[in-house]
Structures are given as structure tokens and as C-alpha cells.
Amino acid sequence: MAAHASTYEPKTRFGKWMDDRLPVGRVMHSQFVDFPTPRNLNYLWTFGGILTFFLMAQIVTGIVLAMHYQPNAEMAFDSVERIRRDVNYGWLMRSLHAVGASMFFLAAYIHIFRGLYYGSYKAPREILWIIGVLIFVVMMATAFMGYSLPWGQMSFWAVTVITNLFSSLNSIVEGLGTGIVEWLWGGYSVTGVTLNRFYSLHYLLPFVIAALVGLHIWALHVVGQNSPTGLDVKTRADSVPMHPYATSKDAFAMFVFLILFAWFVFYLPDYLGHADNYTPADPLVTPPHIVPEWYFLPYYAILRAIPSKLFGVIAMFASIGVLLFVPWLDTSSVRSAKYRPLYKWFFWLFVFTCLALGYLGSKPAEGTYVMWARVFTVYYFAHFLIVLPLLGLIETPKKLPASISEAVLTKDKPAVHAAAAKKA
Amino acid sequence: MKRPAAISHTAMALVILLAFAAAGTAQAAGDGEAPHIKRYDWPFAGLAGQYNTQQLQRGFQVYQQVCAACHSLNRVRFRNLTEPGGPQFPVEAVKALAASWPYTIAKKFDTEGKLIERLPTMADPVIGPYKSEEEAREAQNDRVPPDLSLITSARSVENHAPWYLHVPQMAWDIVTGYQEGGADYLTALLTSFKDEPPAGFEVSEGLYYNAVFPGHQLGMPPPLSKDNFIEYQEDAGAKGSFEQNARDVTAFLYWSADPNLDARKRLGWQVLVYLLITTVLLYAVKKHIWGRLKAKPSETESA
């Protein structure tokens, strides 16, 4: 809990002087050194730190790339190639940034599924969760606009397809969709004007994410972290100070993740991208299969699963919007799936559904692929709208331990536990 | 406790059932008539892969004597041909090459408004025969021979594994660092022209049948064949043949699309060694710090 007594004592004269005027050191110490973290956090709780690192890394590599990039339809593709070929270590900066985006999403998905498994969205963490969903939405917008910048075939056609989605609003108000699309494009088709504004927004949005991350961490430090048992920290014995316990664990986990990152940067820099994006944008040639980056595939599958364009667009946005309501859709009073024998299975069925939608999103929208995309789209929404509300009512949760420390100590000392059980 | 178990088993059964049902039908849907593309053993593939300088030199020879008749290589500059990690031709030889290049650069105007034609220098791109798209269309039956600088990056071999093997195939490619799909495709393309298309296949006027090209009809005539290939010099490191030509020119074009591969992979293992050592150290630190809790479980209470 945040309401813990600060043990901060400034050691230097400057520190004491500063502490009376702007106590930055005191705040940092109480929030990131002393801060009580549940002692039973597993490695899935290290992804918050990993995500913070990737946000900073993307901003740093992005600023360097922006020094060499030209947001101009005639020059964009060539300038990226010049970065790869002629800028010192430009190939490295570009790989770090492009692969970094994928790693950012991978970490974000693990982080989100962690929250869903351990019920991290339940009271009093609703606002924390909602801010997280907003970060995810802005992240997706940033990534989408960033992918347009190399101005290759896939960039161009992804922008064309996705911005055109808004034209479906024409079926509600005649001309509304077209108006919005032309406003987004800054013209009557996707041109260099569109590219230029996407570049501007791509530079702006990461700072919006950074501000939201600040709020996310603030909200987290007000309510405290959830834990694998779903129990809050109640006594000092339930927690360890953030430093050096959580920090040492976070550092180790981050380096394991960086190994994966480096593997892609140095050995598979193009694996996560699409070959068509090495062909300069050509408005007259449509690629045979227009597919988004891997992290958008499930939503793309949902979009194409629905025969009506308007309802496809609505379903795609709703698939993310529904996350905002999860704190109230889940009726169970128990947080952690560890103590929810039924939810545990449905959670994994949901994970499978998301992976299946991702696979189907990468395939052409024809035949059985569409049929299965429909089945999984229905289940995707059923999970949130039917399964989560019902499970809380019919499920009998397992007995919760009295506290985090009890859960930890009985695990550490099975002999004590067995002896206690015998006595009983 | 019985009811939840029953429901959870039903849920598991449902997952397996869905999986198998999807397997049958998705496979039936298939990927059409995607031809199989062989994976070649490239010297630049994998963790320690690096370009073979001699192969790049042979590949350039094939490019110069065959491809350059129609295709430019605009993102490669003559100076790049001398640089480390590339064909590393001697500087004097490349200067001479640029000065005798069959095509000229015409970009600037003289005082009378006429284009100045000049030969390329070391700083200029490896240009092709056409100065504009219009000129290319006029000469090539309304088709534009693409610039080849990025051709191996701009092509790939899709994962055609049935859905249940899709993830294992991906995992295998990631673990082995397989990224040479474009090279495999290009070599396959160059060696898959057929004089006689399969029975029942109509090839349009002015097009050529190719077994791996999507749609099988290609505007490019076979650039190499079993009777028409480039002989190499004695000390070139390999004997010229149809297949060898195709592989060498592919390797050269792979370099032109990814000229930093050597440096990237070298830096890659250095970074990985650093990360691995630091990771082990950080694990030891973490173990040590968390060990304090086991030794004195009451530490945090007294702290």
C-alpha cells in the first residue's frame, strides 16, 4: 500500500536543502525504493518494467531516425534506404526501432493477459486497468502510423484500407464517411500529405503514451500491486521493499527479454515485417494480400469475419472497447484464476481464440478461413459478454489463503503445513 | 467440487474438438497451388553466416553480363563494390569499371537547356539502360524491368504449412534464424523456366512460363539456361554452370539488398555474449538478494 511511512533521510547538505524545497528524492525513495511490493510476485509481473524500457527505447531510436528521415512521398522510401545503407549504424537504429515495436506489443500482450488471468482489473484497480487500455489504444495508433512511414507497398495499402474503413459511416449518414476519410487523408486519396501528417502524429503520440504511463504508475502506486494469489498486501510480512527485491528480479527478467529482442534485431530483422514493404509505394498496383503487422492480425480477422463493412468496423473497435468494461463484466469476487477452477479453463480458451484469430487474420478472407474467423469472433465476444458474467455466478472458488505471507510460507515449508494439517 | 471439474473437462474437450475440426477444413481450403521452394544452403545464412567474397564477385559478373542488359541497381553505388562485407573488388578496377560502364547519367542541363550525358563515377549508382520509365516501357513491350537493388528483400516464401504446423514451422525458422526466403525464391525463379508449359496451360503472347512465379506467366525471358550461362575465370572459386550462375547472382543481389549483413551478424554475437553473461550475473544477484528472505523470514518485519 502506498500509505507507508517514508524512511528517506537525505544524507548530504544539498539533499537536505533540496528536501525542504522540492522533495523529488523523497518521492522517488518512497515510490521506487521503499515501496512495498507483494513478496509472491512471479515473473509475469516484470513486464511493466520491460514495457517502460521499450517505450523509452522507441523514443530514443525514433528521435535518431527522425534526424535522417524525410516525410515526403517522393523521398520517404529512399531516405529509409539511405538510413540503412549510408548512415553510420543506421541499419541498427532502424532494426531496433522496427523490431522494438514488435517486442513492445509482445510485452504488452503478456502484460494484458497477466492482468486478465490474475484479475488485476478488479476493485480497486478499475481506473488503473482503464488507463492501461487507453495506453494500448494509443500504442496501436502510434504503431499503425509508424508502419506507414517507410512508404513501401504494404505501408501505402495498409493506410488506404484502414482509413477507408471510416467510409462505412456513409451507410448511417450519407457523405459522413467520405467526409471523414478525406479529412484524414488531406485530399481525395492517400498521398504525401497523408504521410506528412501521420509522421507528425507518430512523433506526438509516444509522448501521450508517456503521460498515460505516468498516470498508470501513479494509479498503481495508490492501490498497490495485485499478486498471483489475488490478495492485497495487508501486513509488512506480505511485502518486500521494491528495491532491491523487485528491482533485481526485474533487471534479470529484462535481460532475458533483451536476448529475444537482440535475436530478432541481429538475425531476423525482417522476419516480423512484410517483403512487400521493400517495394516502393505504388498507388496503381495493389498487392495480392494486404495484411497488417502481426500484432493487428486478430482485429483484422474480426473486421473481415463480418459480412457488413459497417458492422465489421464496429466489431473491430468493440473488440478493444469491451476491455474497458471487463472490471464490471466479471462478476466473480475472487481475483486470481488460481482459485477459480472454471475461469482458468475459459481463460486459456480465450488465449487460444486470440491466437486463432491472429492466424486467420494472416490468411486470405475466403472459404473456411472466414467461417472459422466467424466462430472465433463470436467466442471472443462471448467470453466477455457471456462467460465472464455467468462464471462469477455459477463457479465455486477454491478456498483463499488468509494472506500472502501464509500462501508463501506454507509453500516454502510443506513440513510445517503437513504437521498443522495432522494436528487438525 | 465435482461440477466445476466436469465443466472444465468439457471446456478442454471443446478446445481439442475445435482444433481438430479446424485442422480438417483449413487444410482442405489449402493455399492453392503454391509451388514448393527449396531451401538452399547459403553461406550467409544462420547465426555465423557471412558473405563469400568470391561468390559475390562471381554474382556481380553474372549481373553485369546478363541482368544489367535490362535491370538497374540504383541503390548500390560503384564505391560499395569495393567496401568490406561486399564483393571487395580493388578500387582501381572499380574506377575503371565505372569509366567504361555502358550506360550514362543524364540529369543536369547545359546552358542551352540540353541534357549533359556523362559516365558514372565511384559515387554514382550502378545504373541500368533506361533513363526513365517511359523509355523502359517503349523498349520492353510496355513492361518496366524492376530495379534489382532490393529484389531479394522484396520477395519471400510464405509459410504454407497446414495450420497445425504453422506455429512449429515459425518457431523453427525463428530458432534457426531463417531469413533467406527471398534468396531461395529468386534462385528458384531463375531456374524454373520451362520451354514447354504443362499440358493444358496457355501462355499468352510475349510471356514465358515459369513454375514458381505467381500465375506462372512472366514477362522476362529466361535470362540463363543450361545452354546459355556465364563461364567464370580459373581462380573464381567455382566452375560456371546454369545452377551456379543462378545461386551466385542471387547471393550478389542479396548483398545489394542487405549490405550490412556481415557487420550485423558479427555485432550480433558480441551483443548476445554480453547479454548472456550479464543475464547470468543478474540471476546470481537476484538469487543472492532473495536468499536473504529465506535465511531470515522476519527480516522485512524488523526492517
A-proximal residues of B, 104-163, CB under 8 Å: 149-150, 153-156, 163
Tens-binned pLDDT, residue by residue, of chain A (424 aa):
445 667 899 999 999 999 999 999 999 999 999 999 999 999 999 999 999 999 999 999 999 999 999 999 999 999 999 999 999 999 999 999 999 999 999 999 999 999 999 999 999 999 999 999 999 999 999 999 999 999 999 999 999 999 999 999 999 999 999 999 999 999 999 999 999 999 999 999 999 999 999 999 999 999 999 999 999 999 989 999 999 999 999 999 999 999 999 999 999 999 999 999 999 999 999 998 899 999 999 999 999 999 999 999 999 999 999 999 999 999 999 999 999 999 999 999 999 999 999 999 999 988 999 999 999 999 999 999 999 999 999 999 999 999 998 888 776 555 444 444 444 4
Count of Cβ atoms closer than 10 Å to residue A132 Cβ: 26
ipTM for the whole complex: 0.91
B267–A contact, CB cutoff 8 A: yes
**Is B14's Cβ below 8 Å from some Cβ in A?**
yes
Q: Name which of A236, A263, A396 is nearest B300 (Cβ-Cβ).
A: A236
Q: Residue A239: which of B15, B28, B300 has the nearest Cβ?
A: B300
For B275, which of A236, A240, A258 is closest by C-beta distance? A258
β-bridge partners, A55: none
How many angstroms separate the CA of residue A142 from the nearest CA in chain B? Answer: 25
Neighbours of A55 (CB within 10 A): 18
Domains of chain A: 31-414 (1.20.810.10)
- Grid look-up 530514443 returns A60
Cβ contact, residue pair B279, A252, below 8 Å: yes
Q: Which of B264, B273, B294 to mutate to test the interface with A (most CBs of A within 10 A)?
A: B264
How many C-beta neighbours within 10 Å does residue A316 have? Answer: 23
Q: Which amino acid is at A167?
A: S
Q: How far apart are CA A321 and CA A301, in angstroms?
A: 16
Looking at the DSSP bridge assignments, the partners of residue A199 are none
Q: Classify domain B53-266 at the CATH class level.
A: mainly alpha
Check CB contact under 8 Å for A252 and B301.
no
Torsions phi, psi for B140 (to 5 deg): -115, 40
Distance from CA of A166 to the nearest CA of B (A): 30
Domain boundaries, chain B: 53-266
Rounded to 5 degrees, φ, ψ at A187 are: 165, -165
Across the interface, whether the CB atoms of A270 and B179 are under 8 A apart is answered yes
Q: Does B3 touch chain A (CB under 8 A)?
A: yes
Q: What's the predicted TM-score (pTM) here?
A: 0.91
CB B76 within 8 A of CB B149: yes
